[in-house]
C-alpha cells in the first residue's frame, strides 16, 4: 500500500484514537539497523503527531549478546530466558539504558518527536524482586534442573505517575526493560513482560509487539488477522499455535483481561507495518481481542 493510499484509509481512525494510549514494544532486531530504526520511528512519530499517546518499551538481547561476546562473557540462556550474572547485568545496563535507548531517542528526534529515555528504575516506575531459583526442564536437553537466573527480576508493582506526567506534556517515554527493588538493586526484566504490565497499568487502548514475524500463522503460513480467546484455544488444540507463539498469545489474553483493549503482533522489520496495523481495516499482523 502506498503512503497516499494509507493516509486516505487512516483518516477515519485518527479521531477515534486521538488521546488514546498505545504501548509499543520492540527489540534489538529493529534497533540493530539505523535505516530500519529510522523508518519505524517515523511511523511512531506520525502516530504521536496525530494525537495518540505513545509509550515505547524496548529490550535489546541481540546487542547484549554481541557486547558480551566482545568482552569475553559467554551469554547463557535456558528456554530462551537470559541468565544474568553480575557481569551480564553490567552489559545489559550498558546496552539497554545506554546504547539502544539513546539511539531510539536520536531517531525519534530526527522525526521531530520530543522523547524521554527512561528505565523502570526512574521514578520508581517498576518495583521488582529477584526471581527465586526455579526447577525447569531444559528444552534443549530434556534435563530437569534447578536454575538460578541471577539478577533477573519479577515485577511486583508499577507506578505510572512519571509516564502520565510525560504524556500530559506531549513527550514520548522510551523505557528500557530494567527494574529495581526498594534497596536499589537493579534487575534485568523481560521486555515483553514490562510492556504488558505497563499497558495494563495505563489501561492502554492497544499493546503492539513489533517482532520479526508477520503474526500468528495458520497451517498454510498465512497471517491470521483477528483472534479471540475462543479461537486461540481451538488453534492450540489443533496444533496451529505452537512453540514460542503460545506464551505470546497467553500473555496477550492476560493483558486483555486486565483492561488492555486489543493486543497486536506485527512484523516491525517491514515498512509501514505499524501504520497499516493501526490505520487500516485489514491490518497487516494479528490483532487479539477477548471476544
Write down the pLDDT at residue 187. 98
- Structure confidence at residue 282 as a pLDDT band (50, 70, 90): confident
Rounded distance between C-alpha atoms, residue 167 and residue 162, angstroms: 9
Every domain of the chain and the residues it spans: 19-204, 206-291
Q: What is the mean pLDDT of residues 81-102?
A: 94
12 pLDDT more than 90: no
Write down the pLDDT at residue 1. 53
Write down the pLDDT at residue 106. 97
- Residue 272 grid coordinates: 509501514
Write down the pLDDT at residue 173. 98
CATH class, 19-204 region:
alpha beta
User: Which is higher by pLDDT, 2 or 178?
Assistant: 178
Q: How far is CA 144 from the centre of its chain?
A: 30
Average pLDDT over the chain, rounded to whole?
A: 92
Are the C-beta atoms of residues 283 and 225 closer than 8 Å to each other? yes
Write down the pLDDT at residue 94. 96
Q: What is the mean pLDDT of residues 20-48?
A: 94
Min mean pLDDT across 3-12, 26-35, 59-68, 151-160 is at: 3-12
| DSSP letter, residue 220 | T
Are the C-beta atoms of residues 89 and 133 closer than 8 Å to each other? no
Q: What is the mean pLDDT of residues 39-60?
A: 95
- Cβ density class 138-163: b for 16+ within 10 Å, e for less: eeeeeeeeebebbbbbebeebebebb
Min mean pLDDT across 59-63, 101-105, 225-229 is at: 59-63
Write down the pLDDT at residue 5. 64
Reported as a single tens digit per residue, the pLDDT across 165-184 is 999 999 999 999 999 999 99
Report the percentage of the chain scoring pLDDT > 70. Answer: 97
Q: What is the mean pLDDT of residues 82-92?
A: 94
- Structure confidence at residue 103 as a pLDDT band (50, 70, 90): very high
Amino acid at each position: 500500500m502506498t503512503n497516499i493510499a494509507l493516509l486516505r484509509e487512516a483518516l477515519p481512525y485518527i479521531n477515534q484514537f486521538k488521546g488514546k494510549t498505545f504501548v509499543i514494544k520492540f527489540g534489538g532486531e529493529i534497533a540493530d539497523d539505523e535505516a530500519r530504526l529510522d523508518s519505524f520511528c517515523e511511523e511512531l512519530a506520525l502516530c504521536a503527531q496525530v494525537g495518540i499517546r505513545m509509550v515505547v518499551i524496548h529490550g535489546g538481547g541481540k546487542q547484549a549478546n554481541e557486547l558480551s561476546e566482545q568482552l569475553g562473557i559467554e551469554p547463557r540462556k535456558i528456554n530462551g530466558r537470559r541468565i544474568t550474572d553480575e557481569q551480564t547485568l553490567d552489559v545489559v545496563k550498558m546496552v539497554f539504558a545506554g546504547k539502544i535507548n539513546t539511539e531510539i531517542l536520536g531517531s525519534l528526534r530526527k522525526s521531530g518527536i520530543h522523547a524521554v529515555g527512561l528505565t523502570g528504575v526512574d521514578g520508581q516506575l517498576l518495583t521488582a524482586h529477584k526471581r527465586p531459583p526455579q526447577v525447569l526442564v531444559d528444552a534443549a536437553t530434556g534435563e530437569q534442573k534447578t536454575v538460578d537466573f541471577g539478577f533477573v527480576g519479577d515485577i511486583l508493582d508499577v507506578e505510572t505517575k512519571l509516564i502520565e506526567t510525560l504524556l500530559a506534556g506531549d513527550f514520548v517515554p522510551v523505557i528500557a526493560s530494567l527494574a529495581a527493588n526498594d534497596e536499589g538493586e537493579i534487575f534485568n526484566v523481560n521486555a515483553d513482560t514490562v510492556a504488558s504490565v505497563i499497558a495494563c497499568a495505563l489501561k492502554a487502548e492497544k499493546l503492539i509487539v513489533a517482532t520479526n514475524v508477520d503474526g500468528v500463522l495458520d497451517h498454510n503460513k498465512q497471517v491470521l488477522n483477528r483472534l479471540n480467546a475462543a479461537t486461540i484455544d481451538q488453534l492450540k488444540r489443533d496444533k496451529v499455535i505452537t512453540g514460542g507463539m503460545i506464551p505470546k498469545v497467553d500473555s496477550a489474553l492476560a493483558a486483555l483481561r486486565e483492561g488492555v483493549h486489543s493486543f497486536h503482533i506485527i512484523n516491525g522489520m517491514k515498512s509501514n507495518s505499524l501504520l497499516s496495523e493501526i490505520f487500516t481495516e485489514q491490518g497487516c499482523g494479528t490483532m487479539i481481542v477477548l471476544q
